[in-house]
Amino acid sequence: MSSRKVFTQSFILVSLTSLEVVCGAPSIYLDYVRSNLDPKISVAAQNCYKVAKGAFTGEISPAMIKDSGVDWVILGHSERRHIFGEGDQLIGQKVAHALESGLGVIACIGEKLEEREAGITEEVVFAQTKVIAGNWMVWAYEPVWAIGTGKTATPEQAQEVHEKLRAWLRENVSEGNAESVRIIYGGSVTGANCKELAAKVDVDGFLVGGASLKSEFVDIINANA
């Protein structure tokens, strides 16, 4: 399977006791990837729909994902929001159904460049968070202006948003949720910048795009070890 044919989103999750690596593959490759990848590495779908079944041509359900032996799904990715027009409410419905179906969810949030420049990053991120904040999952902060552009949020910028997001969860959900949730960073993560980002106290791993197809992905994994 040539990397030129595959749109990947892989992620690295860190907790107090373990490190997990998950490969996010397009839906038509889920069974292939799960069958051929080392069992120590989990697999994620890149999207799913909000209901179990029905006349929704082209969509996949959590049940289909689980039938492929896959136990994660990525929801709310910036491209789903800004290219395919998925709003906060729809993403919230997708998250709720995926969790009810037993999938692990990585929920993506983040602001566009004009929103950061307007000083409303927190407003945007908290609004995206609000519709799904009562659920236990992994959060991925991915500033839209840093995805595939070569621009990366500085470690300080990433830490600032992660810290404020954790504080928001503490105030609006629970202390337990805020302390146990894993908040990972996505946005042009590379072997060159991963160590500085990983050193930040509230950065619990990475959502990695293009670099997950390169040998430097090993360096990114090791930066979290």
**Annotated catalytic, 82?**
no
pLDDT at 2: 41
Q: How far is CA 47 from CA 75, 107, 157, 169, in A?
A: 6, 10, 27, 24
pLDDT at 149: 74
pTM, entire model = 0.91
Structure tokens at 155: 């470690």
153 φψ region: left (φ > 0), alpha (ψ -120 to 50), beta (else): beta
**Annotated catalytic, 77?**
yes
Q: For residue range 156-211, what is the model confidence (pLDDT) as tens digits?
A: 999 999 999 999 999 999 998 898 899 999 988 999 999 999 999 999 999 998 88
The one catalytic residue among 20, 77, 111, 162? 77
Ordered domains of the chain (ranges, CATH): 3-223 (3.20.20.70)
Neighbours of 147 (CB within 10 A): 21
- Give kind and range of the element (H or E) at residue 184: strand 182-186
Spans of the chain, pLDDT less than 70: 1-9, 13-17
The one catalytic residue among 20, 97, 111, 142? 142
**Amino acid symbol at 151:** K
pLDDT at 3: 41
